[in-house]
Amino acid sequence: MPKALRILDFDIENRPLSYWIPDRPTAEITSIAAGFVGHRRVHVDLLGVRCQHGECTDYHLGTSGENMLARFVKLYDQADMVTGHYIRKHDLPIINAMLLEAGMPGLSQKLTCDTKLDMTKKADIPATQEHLSDMMGTRATKYHMKQSMWREANRLTPEGMVLTRKRVVHDVRQHQELRLAMLERGLLHPPKMWRP
């Protein structure tokens, strides 16, 4: 009997950092949440903040994201496959870019299941995680943030980081349910290898 894949479900939040050409900002990751499928625990790291046991402590704003990246890479390397919504074109390339900027080794190639890019062909249906989750009838919901909340989050204030944590954890929990619902309905193509 083949061994079951160890699957890591993850999401990032990021903020614009600088413009490299007009109207094209670079990104900086402000949070990463990741949890292995079949386990309730979601690991969370926030830029400049270490979260433990659901509480955010040790606010050291302005610190680098190297520790956050290293902790994610450790989880990533333990996984046989990673999954998320639009991870091959958004999350994974941004993480890889931040690793490059930090002088750290890049991500290794990995089998991926991307619920946006691997969905069966469809037309005139929004492919957002929230819309697909509503269609599939999942219980987990997205944590909505207004512009004023995003401004706090992107300024890395203690209050804003609490909001960011809620947002990224809700996204992972919602995605875990969405992926299972899509698999049950046969709506996902086979996983694809992501090559940095």
Any idea what the CATH number is for the domain that residue 71 is in?
A: 3.30.420.10
pLDDT reported for residue 182: 96
Residue 2 lies in a domain: no
Residue 181 domain-assigned (yes or no): yes
Number of folded domains that form the chain: 1
Q: Is residue 41 part of a domain?
A: yes
Classify residue 1: in a domain, yes or no: no
pLDDT at residue 1 greater than cutoff 90: no
Q: Is residue 31 part of a domain?
A: yes
**69 assigned to some structural domain:** yes
The pLDDT of residue 4 is 87
- Give percent of the chain with pLDDT exceeding 90: 73
Q: Give the pLDDT confidence of 60-91 residue by residue, as tens digits.
A: 443 458 888 999 999 999 999 999 999 999 99
Of residues 157 and 146, more confidence is placed in: 146
Average pLDDT of 36-58?
Answer: 73
> What HEC string does the chain produce?
CCCCCCEEEEEEEEEEEEEEECCEEEEEEEEEEEEECCCCCCEEEECCEEEECCEEECCCCCCCCHHHHHHHHHHHHHCCEEEECCHHHHHHHHHHHHHHHCCCCCCCCEEEEECCCCECCCCCCCCCHHHHHHHHCCCCCCCCCCHHHHHHHHCCCHHHHHHHHHHHHHHHHHHHHHHHHHHHCCCECCCEEECC
Quote the domain boundaries for residue 186.
Answer: 7-194
| 159 located within any domain | yes
pLDDT in tens, 123-154: 888 899 999 999 999 999 999 999 999 999 99
Residue at 62 is within a domain: yes
Instruction: Using pLDDT thresholds of 50, 70 and 90, give the confidence band for residue 163.
Output: very high
